[in-house]
């Protein structure tokens, strides 16, 4: 019997503890019981975000928190810089343009990480830039950006830094306070092992001050209102009660394992997977590979056929390329509840699929490569 086996960078598999929590009876959101759950959730989110700042829980997919950041922190015609190196940099660009911000789009090569020197040059050229929008893991290219260095540059110039960590949170290293990141947005359906439906936004004191000056209209996603409720471990409107209760379980799992250990493990899995994919004839698309997802260049193989056969023959869902990368790459996630054993299973199936498409593959070679790379790294 085939069962769903998701290796996609969102949604990703649910933790069993999450599934169990989701099956519980609903409780009312205006009760001491729910406030106490929310209090635990707020504390757990601070740990995963590595911040002492408030982390607001919103009812939306990740894009909702991205839009909330734009709408609440800036004003019409403000000049901002957006790093555009993939589909999700484009999403920041589109949101900012739709709010009539004065958008400086910094187009970088897909699969590369933005250069700090170029960032400094751009900020020198446009000295009136108020905020920089960027991404921790650009999921479409499986690329991690150097947020620590970006934050340093922004701090020196007192520019607000807003980071989309929707896919990177929990697997790519992110030290919000230590690095001085003002705003981090995330979503529930990736590293947090939950279904889609919740988004999150952390706000530094500088970001909270920016809420006071924004002149855009907001109602549902009014972050000032959300902050007031947050202070009482409450939400302005009906909370997504069941998802919040399940989130408490996911956050406990992460805390119990330790975020540093998880960062290290996902990074090892990513490294081992890249080596294994090369033995199957794939190229590695990213020059700054993320610990959350890996993109294998298919070269002469047919990406859509690989994805289709992975699903039809093995019940395994992997992702393809988006926008200009459609047909050129396959993407395999290693985030949230996905572990090394899942990646091994996926590789075993991929070997068969690639072979069935006419490639001469030595059966077991990619698995051995993965095992050796992952286990050697693990025993060091």
Ligand X SMILES: Cc1ncc(COP(=O)(O)O)c(C=O)c1O
**CB neighbours of residue 104 within 10 Å:** 17
Nearer to ligand X, 180 or 196 (CB): 196
Which neighbouring-strand residues pair with 162? Answer: 133, 183
CB of 367 to ligand X, least distance (A): 28
β-strands 131-135, 102-107 pairing? unpaired
Nearer to ligand X, 168 or 361 (CB): 168
Contact call for residues 191 and 18 (beta carbons, < 8 A): no
How many Å apart are CA 11 and CA 215, to the nearest integer? 34
Structure-block tokens of residue 153 = 């540059």
CB of 59 to ligand X, least distance (A): 12
Question: Helix 259-279 vs helix 241-257: angle between axes, to the nearest 10 degrees?
Answer: 80
CB of 141 to ligand X, least distance (A): 10
Nearer to ligand X, 34 or 200 (CB): 200
CB of 66 to ligand X, least distance (A): 6
Nearer to ligand X, 135 or 369 (CB): 135
CA pseudo-torsion sign 8, 108, 62, 209: positive
CB of 190 to ligand X, least distance (A): 7
CA distances (Å), origin 105, targets 26, 92, 181: 45, 10, 20
Nearer to ligand X, 86 or 296 (CB): 86
CB of 61 to ligand X, least distance (A): 3
CB of 312 to ligand X, least distance (A): 24
Can you give the binding site for ligand X, defined by CB under 6 A? Answer: 10, 61-63, 88, 91, 135, 139, 164, 166-167, 187, 196
CB of 67 to ligand X, least distance (A): 9
Structure-block tokens of residue 6 = 């998701």
Which neighbouring-strand residues pair with 284? Answer: 296
Strand (E) positions, the chain? 5-6, 55-59, 79-84, 102-107, 131-135, 137-138, 143-144, 160-164, 183-187, 198-203, 283-284, 293-297, 316-317, 319-320, 329-333
Nearer to ligand X, 330 or 344 (CB): 330
Nearer to ligand X, 186 or 273 (CB): 186
Contact call for residues 104 and 93 (beta carbons, < 8 A): no
Nearer to ligand X, 63 or 208 (CB): 63
Q: Side-chain half-sphere of 187: how many Cα atoms within 13 Å?
A: 24
How many Å apart are CA 159 and CA 204, to the nearest integer? 12
């Amino acid at each position: 019997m085939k069962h769903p086996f998701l290796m996609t960078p969102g949604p990703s598999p649910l933790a069993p503890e999450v599934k169990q929590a989701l099956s519980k009876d609903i409780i009312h959101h205006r009760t001491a019981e729910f406030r106490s759950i929310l209090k635990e959730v707020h504390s757990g989110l601070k740990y995963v975000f590595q911040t002492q700042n408030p982390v607001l829980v919103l009812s939306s997919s990740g894009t909702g928190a991205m839009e909330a950041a734009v709408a609440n922190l800036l004003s019409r015609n403000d000049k901002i810089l957006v790093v555009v190196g993939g589909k999700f940099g484009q999403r920041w660009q589109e949101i900012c343009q739709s709010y009539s911000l004065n958008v400086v789009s910094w187009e970088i090569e897909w699969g590369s990480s933005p250069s700090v020197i170029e960032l400094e040059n751009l900020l020198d050229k446009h000295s009136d830039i108020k905020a920089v929008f960027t991404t921790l893991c650009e999921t479409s290219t499986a690329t991690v950006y150097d947020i620590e260095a970006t934050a340093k540059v922004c701090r020196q110039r007192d520019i607000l830094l807003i980071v989309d960590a929707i896919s990177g949170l929990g697997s790519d290293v992110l030290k919000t306070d230590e690095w001085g990141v003002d705003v981090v947005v995330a979503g529930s359906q990736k590293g947090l092992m939950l279904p889609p439906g919740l988004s999150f936004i952390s706000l530094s004191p500088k970001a909270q001050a920016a809420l006071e000056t924004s002149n855009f209209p907001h109602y549902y996603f009014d972050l000032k209102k959300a902050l007031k409720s947050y202070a009482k471990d409450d939400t302005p409107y009906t909370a997504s009660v069941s998802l919040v209760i399940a989130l408490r379980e996911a956050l406990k799992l992460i805390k119990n394992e330790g975020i540093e250990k998880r960062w290290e493990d996902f990074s090892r899995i990513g490294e081992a997977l890249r080596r294994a994919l090369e033995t199957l004839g794939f190229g590695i698309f990213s020059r700054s590979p993320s610990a959350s997802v890996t993109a294998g260049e298919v070269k002469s193989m047919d990406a859509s056929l690989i994805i289709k056969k992975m699903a039809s023959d093995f019940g395994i869902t992997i992702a393809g390329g988006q926008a200009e990368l459609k047909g050129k790459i396959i993407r395999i996630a290693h985030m949230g509840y996905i572990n090394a054993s899942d990646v091994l299973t996926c590789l075993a199936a991929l070997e068969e699929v690639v072979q069935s498409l006419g490639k001469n593959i030595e059966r077991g070679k990619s698995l051995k490569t993965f095992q050796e790379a992952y286990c050697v790294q693990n025993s060091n």
